[in-house]
Structure formats: C-alpha cells, structure tokens
Structure 1
Amino acid sequence: MRTFKDRLRHTLLFELIALTLVAIFGAWITGHSPAEMGTLGLMMSLLAMAWNLVYNWMFDQWDMKYRNMAPRGVKIRIIHALLFEGGLLIAGIFVVAWWLSITLLQALLLDLGFAAFFLVYAYVFNLAYDKIFPVPAQQALAS
C-alpha cells in the first residue's frame, strides 16, 4: 500500500506534468498563449476536483435513498462514470468558451480533446509512476 507522502508526490507530479503538457501542446494546437492554456488547465483541474466532490456527494445521497448502499456492481459503476464525465464535459464547455472567447462548438471540441488527452495521460503516467516508484511490497518481492 502506498503512503500518504507517496500519494502526495503522485498527485503533485501528475498535476504539474499535466499542466505543463496542456500549456505547451494546448498553445501549439490552439494558437493561444501557453499562459492562457496553462491557466485554463488549472481552472479545469479545479473544476474537476470540485465536480468530483459535489457529484460523489450527490451520488452517495441518491444511493442511500434509493439503493440503501447495496454493493455497487459494474452497471452502477458504468452509469456513475458516464454521468460524472458528462457533467464535467458540460461544465467544462462553458469554462473553455468563456476563457478562450471561442464558440460553444469549438469549446466542445477542445473539451473532448482534453478528455481524450487525460484518458491517455492518466494511463501512461500511472504506468510510469509504478515503474519509477514501485509499491513498497512490490519492491520487497522484486529483491
């Protein structure tokens, strides 16, 4: 199991690398400045964290009322993930359009690009992190 210190390092590295990539490649792809794209990346990260807190609290309230906290199987987890991502996408469109002064359609496309980027990035980052900083139990097994 990972320690709190390790989880903190994981979180900080994840966000710092992601914001750097978003600022650099977002600027290159969109023509906006790295500062604009970096700030947008930070706003989207904060939006995702806030939505995660609110959405999961609301989901738990619904779950207690209608399902009595029964075990959450695959169907509920798929619905949970789709609704989370859908809500984040909708909120993100308005933030992106406002910040970059672009149309809602352009913002939708950019927000979908963010979603695709983070799907791949999270996978690659976590794979690399596990190789560079193995779980202590895995370190003992490897020796």
Structure 2
Amino acid sequence: MRSWRERVVHTLLFEAGGLVMVTPLASWLTGHGMDEMGALAVGLATAAMAWNLVWNRGFDALVPTRRRSVGQRFTQAFGFELGLLVMTLPVVAWWMGISLEEAFWLDLGFMLFFLVYAMLFNTLFDRAMRRRLAGGD
C-alpha cells in the first residue's frame, strides 16, 4: 500500500503536469483567455487533487500492487475521470457561461485527454517508485 506522502507527491506531480499541458490547449480551443482558463484550471486541479487522493487511496486498497494490468490501469484512470467529471460539470458551465451540455462535451474532451495522460503517468510513476524502492537502477 502506498503511503499518504507518496500519494501527495503523486498528486502534485500529476496535476502540475496536467496544468502545463491543458491550460494553453483549453484557451486555444475555447477562445477564452489564459487568465480565465488558468483560474478555472487551478480550481479544477485543486478539486482533482483532493479527489485524486481519495480515489487512488481507495483503488490502492482494492488493487494493492504496483504491477497493474492495462485493464486495472484503465479502471483506475476512468473511475477517477468520471468522478471528477460528475463533480465539476456545473462549475465549468457556470464559469465559462455555457450550457451544461456544452460543458459536458468540453469536459468529455478533456476527460479523454486526461484518461490517456493518467494511464501513462501512473504507469511511469509506479515504475519510478519500484526502482526507487528497489534501491535504484
């Protein structure tokens, strides 16, 4: 089982990487300024960090291994993204002044992006931690 400290490091690295990639992309796709999208992204990242800690800690209890199958990785990433989508949809619609349907499609696009990102990030993070715990390589 991963420690809370490891999960906090995991979460901070994941969200920082996500913000760097998604904020300029969201600004370009929506036509909203970097400042507006950046503020939304930071708010969503804060919510995502809290959810990430809860979701992944629970997932660790259900699947207590660092060598997860592709199906387990997909379940981990999809469950996280779906939960975050449900929690943040009204905020995205309100902040951007768009309908819930428009916010859904926008969120869905980012959910798909982060689904792939999460699968890759989590796999690489676990490999790095296995090496670290084994004494390096």
Counterpart position of 1:29: 29
Contact 2:23–2:34 (CA<8 Å) still a contact in 1? yes
Contact 1:93–1:108 (CA<8 Å) still a contact in 2? yes
2-side partners of 1:51 and 1:7: how far apart? 11
Contact 2:7–2:53 (CA<8 Å) still a contact in 1? no
Provide the alpha-carbon RMSD of the alignment: 3.8
Contact 1:93–1:111 (CA<8 Å) still a contact in 2? yes
Distance 1:121 1:85, change over 3 A: closer
Distance 1:3 1:104, change over 3 A: closer
Alignment of 1:88-127 (within 5 A): 88-127=84-123
Distance 1:21 1:2, change over 3 A: same
Distance 1:87 1:27, change over 3 A: same
Contact 1:26–1:37 (CA<8 Å) still a contact in 2? yes
Alignment of 1:1-143 (within 5 A): 7-50=7-50, 88-130=84-126, 134-137=131-134, 139=136, 142=137
- Name structure 1 gaps, 5 residues minimum: 56-71
Amino acid at match of 1:135: R
Give the count of matched residue pairs.
Answer: 120
2-side partners of 1:45 and 1:85: how far apart? 12
Identical positions, percent: 46
**TM-score, normalised via structure 2 length:** 0.63
Distance 1:45 1:36, change over 3 A: same
SS in 2 for 1:135: helix
